């Protein structure tokens, strides 16, 4: 049953308690076809195709001039606590249509565009392309849920999620650590912050 805006707002504090540096990968969902989701125990991330077996590349995009897949929308990543708030049980999270659900603070303040996250042996980078709720989201979770994730606070916290691209191929598994990666501004290279535990 769809919740009310007030109910979602009441659960916001739990979302805001999401880990800011070291979190956890809670769910992997591959989309083999439109409006279909396949829950995985493990997946392969690849810079050319995103999540291997997903339809990102063949779906194309309205954001590109020629209709081909947009490189900055390879992956849709959603905060697991936000997913639980609007969708309820974990069995319903995949209805949101995202591939990765993480217990990690994806807010613009904590994880702005350019932030890199190490997951398993792979690494992804959050991109600047906004990820907003749409008619499908409203149909699955209710209009109040859509209004909530698209509200000013919802956008600031990226409750609907973020777009990302794969920058280092690797294997990811449910339960893997999600770690923020520090960037060396001097030369543009990446090095895992020594204060952050390595990915599991």
Q: Which domains does the chain have, with CATH numbers?
A: 5-181 (2.40.33.20)
Give the per-residue pLDDT at 185: 43
Residue 45 pLDDT > 70 = yes
Alpha-carbon dihedral of residues 31, 99, 73, 47, nearest 10 degrees?
A: -90
- Relative to beta strand 116-119, strand 42-46 is unpaired
Q: Are 19 and 105 in contact (CB under 8 A)?
A: yes
How far apart CA 121 and CA 104 sit, in angstroms, is: 18
How far apart CA 86 and CA 103 sit, in angstroms, is: 15
Lowest average pLDDT, out of 41-50, 60-69, 156-165, goes to 60-69
pTM greater than 0.75 (yes/no): yes
């Amino acid at each position: 049953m769809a919740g009310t805006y007030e109910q979602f707002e009441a659960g916001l504090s739990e979302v805001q308690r999401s880990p800011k540096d070291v979190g956890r990968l809670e769910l992997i969902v591959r989309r083999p076809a439109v409006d279909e989701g396949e829950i995985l125990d493990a997946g392969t991330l690849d810079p050319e195709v995103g999540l291997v077996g997903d339809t990102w590349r063949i779906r194309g995009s309205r954001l590109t001039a020629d209709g081909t897949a947009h490189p900055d929308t390879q992956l849709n990543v959603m905060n697991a606590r936000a997913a639980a708030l609007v969708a309820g049980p974990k069995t319903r999270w995949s209805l949101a249509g995202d591939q990765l659900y993480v217990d990690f603070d994806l807010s613009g303040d904590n994880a702005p565009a350019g932030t890199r996250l190490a997951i398993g042996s792979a690494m992804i980078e959050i991109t600047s392309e906004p990820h907003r709720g749409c008619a499908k989201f409203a149909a699955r979770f209710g209009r109040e849920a859509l209004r909530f994730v698209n509200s000013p606070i919802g956008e600031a916290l990226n409750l609907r999620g973020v777009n990302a691209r794969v920058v280092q191929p690797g294997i990811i598994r449910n339960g893997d650590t999600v770690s923020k990666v520090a960037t060396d501004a001097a030369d543009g290279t990446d090095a895992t912050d020594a204060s952050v535990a390595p990915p599991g």
